[in-house]
Structure 1
Amino acid sequence: MTAVSVIAVITRFNYFSDAFTNIWSTLFIIFGFTVQLAMTALFLLVSFSHKVTNKLINLIYKIMKKFKFIKNPEKKVE
């Protein structure tokens, strides 16, 4: 989706240039592309890297344990 969006903006820039009317709309558009690109990269990384997936799960687990969102945390790790 990100690649298709970038290609669409590049090939049809005149069509999309109306959206770049002020600084706020430009910032929102850039922010949206950045978030979309970051999420796509994260999904691909998690899909293909077992090591990164385990580290990410452990990080989320530690955060949830710190804020006490998990009951019986040792049991959940097993």
Structure 2
Amino acid sequence: MASVKLIFFSAAAEATGFSEQQVIAIDTAAVRKNLNEKFPQLGKLNYAIAVNHKLVNANFILSDGDIVAILPPFSGG
């Protein structure tokens, strides 16, 4: 298990009511599962997860001090 900092952007921040949060998790799949259970509105978004500024897969193993960004869908223009 790792202590990581979650950063929520845009619609993800609105859905959770947080801009940042500290959590303990083993991988990004656990982060997504816990967030979707705790914040059902967030679960409705097709959000991406980045760790230390890089988009990652659903089961990326986390390390202490990682920064995990919760990125809602981007709109283009």
- Provide the TM-score with structure 1 as the length reference: 0.25
- Provide the TM-score with structure 2 as the length reference: 0.25
Q: Which is bigger in relative contact order (C-alpha 8 A, separation at least 6)?
A: 2
Q: Bigger radius of gyration, 1 or 2?
A: 1
Q: Which one has the bigger strand percentage?
A: 2
Q: Which one has the bigger helix percentage?
A: 1
